[in-house]
Amino acid sequence: MTILLTGGAGFIGSNVAKQLLLENHRVICLDNLDDYYNPDTKWKNVQRTLSDPGYHFHEGDIRDAELVDTLFQTYGFDAVIHLAARAGVRPSVQNPALYFDVNVNGTMTLLQAMQRWNVHKMVFASSSSVYGDSPNVPFDESDTADRPLSPYAASKRAAELVCHTFHHLYGFDIFCLRFFTVFGPYQRPEMAISQFTDSLLNDTAIQVFGDGSTARDYTYVDDIVRGIILSLENLNGYEVLNIGGSDPISLADLIQLIEQAVGQNAQINRLPMQPGDVQQTYANIRKAQQLIGYQPSVRVEEGIRRFVEWYRASQEAGLVTN
């Protein structure tokens, strides 16, 4: 298959690109290398696969309709894996218009190009944040998800609805995957596990928002990649699927795991809860298990051990860019 992979220079996208290439797909990566975090980190991700003859990288924006049309015309895509987005719950509170422009209008640009060029298959990266502080635990895809707590979450839910509209109008096969707190090697530097690990290795205090009781369903990146590939292989109709670890852990316990992996106790600087943050996330993955055969294989304890091992080696080699 020839696949348009948006956001392919990012943490998840670069891992997806690597796996697609291993499975002999042709991967066309579109990424604008934005400055949400250091673009050098994204360029290093691209360089991991740039030498593969099946990989082609284009720097550009998903909102650029002319560029998107050119790519569809040039490569003749069979499917789109749409991971590109403006990321981050807390920053979205400060700049909601940008988040809606990129995450909703950008998705619309891609869907319109698919309609023009007769491409009917998309895997779309949504987020567990759409559930807000749902009282139904674990979170189920049948929940209404109509009470998002941040512009980021609202933009992801809006993009899901746009995807359904194009499924209804044009018969597109689209799976919207609600990812639950992805982590692992090459993850974004502003994420909690990266920051905590870096602080512990450098003997500086970590910033903890709240009392440590918030819980997240951390999902190792290899499991996320597998969920994306399985979705691509089973695309049929419109579906929303939770892709998570289904094993939430509190912030306090997460810090303990990182302390154990690093071999050092943390200095903690406690701060108030931040606007837009939810109390917990927890994925009901039964639907994904039944529909695509998804099953997470890396528990958070093992994932933290692997991440700290990778981070320490990368730091020693001077490869970590914050």
For residue range 11-59, what is the model confidence (pLDDT) as tens digits? 999 999 999 999 999 999 999 998 888 888 899 999 999 999 999 999 9
Single-letter amino acid code for the residue at 16: V
Give me the pLDDT at residue 132, please.
92
Neighbours of 224 (CB within 10 A): 27
For the record, the structure tokens of 79 come out as 């499917």
Residue 319 clears pLDDT 70, i.e. is over it: no
pLDDT classification of 273: cutoffs 50, 70, 90: confident
Q: How confident is residue 322, by pLDDT bands cut at 50, 70 and 90? A: low
Q: Give the Cβ contact number of residue 176 at 10 Å.
A: 26
Q: What percentage of the chain reaches a pLDDT higher than 70?
A: 98
Amino acid at 19: Q
For 230-258, how does the pLDDT look when each residue is reduced to its tens digit (9 = 90+)? Answer: 999 999 999 999 999 989 999 999 999 99
Task: Report, as residue numbers or ranges, the catalytic residues.
Answer: 152
Cα gap 85→44, rounded to integer Å: 19
Helix axis angle for 11-22 and 39-47, nearest 10°, is: 10
* pLDDT over 90, % of the chain: 79
Q: State the pLDDT at residue 111.
A: 98
- Give the pLDDT score at 14: 96
Q: Are 49 and 18 in contact (CB under 8 A)?
A: yes
- For position 170, what pLDDT does the model report? 97
* pLDDT average, residue stretch 192-210: 89
pLDDT level of residue 108 (50, 70, 90 thresholds): very high
pLDDT tens per residue, range 61-95: 999 999 999 999 999 999 999 999 999 888 999 99
What pLDDT, on the 0 to 100 scale, is given for residue 224?
98
- Average per-residue pLDDT for the chain: 93
- The reported pLDDT for the residue numbered 135 is 85
117-131, 267-281, 295-309: least confident range: 267-281
Mean pLDDT of the region 116-125:
98
Residue 321 is predicted with a pLDDT of 55
CB 83 within 8 A of CB 136: no
pLDDT at 295 over 60: yes
Of 279 and 31, more confident: 31
Reported as a pLDDT band with limits 50, 70 and 90, residue 211 is confident
How many other C-beta atoms are found inside a 10 Å radius of the C-beta of residue 106?
A: 25
Domains and their CATH numbers in the chain: 2-316 (3.40.50.720)
Residue 218, pLDDT above cutoff 70: yes
User: How does pLDDT run across 131-167, given as a tens digit for each residue?
Assistant: 998 888 899 999 989 999 999 999 999 999 999 999 9
pLDDT at 100: 97
